[in-house]
Amino acid sequence: MKPSVSVLDIGLVDYKRCWNFQEGLNKRIVNEKIKRRKSHDSPSIYRKNWIVFCEHPPVYTLGKSGSIENLKLSANQLEAQGISFYKINRGGDITHHGPDQLVMYPIFDLEQFFTDIHKYLRFLEEAVILTLQKLGITAGRYDGYTGVWIDADKPQARKICAMGIRTSRWVTMHGIALNVNNKLSYFDNIIPCGIEDKAVTSIEKELGHKVDMQMVKDTLLQNMATLFEFKFE
C-alpha cells in the first residue's frame, strides 16, 4: 500500500510559528515510532506524513553549518527593514524567504519510503526540475551543491530553488524554497547559501511574467506524488 500524505496550505505565516508547527508534526511521528518499537508492534505504513505549503514574511534563516558572515546586515538594519532572522536546525547556509516564494516542508517518515538521505534530496530536486520543465524552464543540478539551478554548466549559472533539511529517526522537516514571483533584491543582503559568485533567479524573471502560484503548487505536488509514490489527501 502506498504511504499517505496529508497536504496543508497555510498561506502567509510567520517563520517561527511555522517552524514550531513543523517541529510538532515531526515529534508526533517520531514519538509514535518510539512507542511502537517499545511495544514491539510492527511498523505501520498508516502513520501520517505531511506536506506543508506556505509563504513567509521577509526573513533570513541560517542553517547549522552556515556562517553569520554571509549576512550583510546588522541587527539594527534588519529591524529597520522589518526583516526577521533565525539560526535554525536545518543543514545548509543562509537563505531568504519572502512573499510570493513557494516554500514546501515535507514531514515524511522515510522508513515508509526509503532510508536514503541522498536519494531524498535528489527526489526533492527532481520534483522541482519537472515542475519547471512544465513551465518551459530547463533546469538541473550543479555538481557539489544542493538545490536547483539554471545554466549550471555555464558562467551565468543561477539558483532558482534552495534546499535544507533535518531528519530525526528518519523523519524529515524543513525542505525547499522555490523562487516564483518573489522580490529578488532581498538576496542582495546575503551571500545566498554561502556561494559568492552565483546569481539567484525566479520563475517570473526567467519567463518575463508572473505565474499562478496555485498552478505551481499543484504541479509540484503531483510530481512529488509520482516520484515518492504516495497518495495524498
Catalytic amino acids?
Answer: 193
The C-alpha cell that represents 187 in the structure block: 538576496
**116-126: b or e for each residue (b if 16 or more CB lie within 10 Å)?**
eeeebbebbbb
- Give residue 91's region: left, alpha or beta (phi > 0; psi -120 to 50): beta
Instruction: Return d(Cα 141, Cα 52) in angstroms, integer.
Output: 24
Q: What interhelical angle do 117-134 and 213-228 show, nearest 10? A: 140
Instruction: Return d(Cα 132, Cα 155) in angstroms, integer.
Output: 21
Instruction: Return d(Cα 97, Cα 200) in angstroms, integer.
Output: 13
Instruction: Return d(Cα 233, Cα 228) in angstroms, integer.
Output: 15
